[in-house]
A = this chain, B = another copy of it.
Amino acid sequence: MDFDEFIEILKGINIKITPARLAILSIFDKAEKHLSIDEIYMMAKKDVPNLGIATTYRTVKLLCDAGIIEKHNFEDCETLYEKKTVKNHSHIIDMESKEVEEFTSEKIKKAILEIAQDLGYDLVNYRLELYCHKK
């Protein structure tokens, strides 16, 4: 999904295109890593110097609700956000550097679906996080 598609989504949900929103949107569009609110705020401020923290929170929430970005609460980390990918994926957190890597495993996914079924549930979503040391 690219930048213009994002904007179409925003227009679709009756939302005005403003400099603050464009700035934050484009940060996520370019981001190579998971971002904290403060990082987003700092980066966006370069484009929109008088941006307020409240607007940052509001915009991030908006993008979450619109399904454009995703929120993560990893253990011992501040809340982080990333652009949502179609494929749902899991995370590996390097416990020293706090760096986050992503992966998917059909094998694990299948096993999880199975377990949920066995226990009498319909799986809606799951969260899998591996806390590791780099070898």
Interface residues of A (CB under 8 A from B): 73, 75, 92, 94-95, 101, 103, 105, 107-108, 111-112, 115-116, 119-135
Contact = CB atoms under 8 A, between A and B. Distances in A.
Contacts of A75: 73, 127
Assembly stoichiometry (copies): 2
A108 B115 contact: yes
Nearest to A115: B105
A15 B123 CA distance: 43
B127 A122 contact: no
A38 to B, nearest CB: 20
A125 B128 CA distance: 11
Contacts of A73: 73, 75
Contacts of A127: 75, 127-129, 131
A105 B95 CA distance: 24
Given A92-B116, A94-B121, 17 more contacts: A75-B127, A92-B119, A103-B115, A105-B111, A105-B115, A108-B115, A111-B111, A112-B128, A112-B130, A120-B134, A120-B135, A121-B132, A122-B135, A123-B130, A124-B131, A124-B133, A125-B131
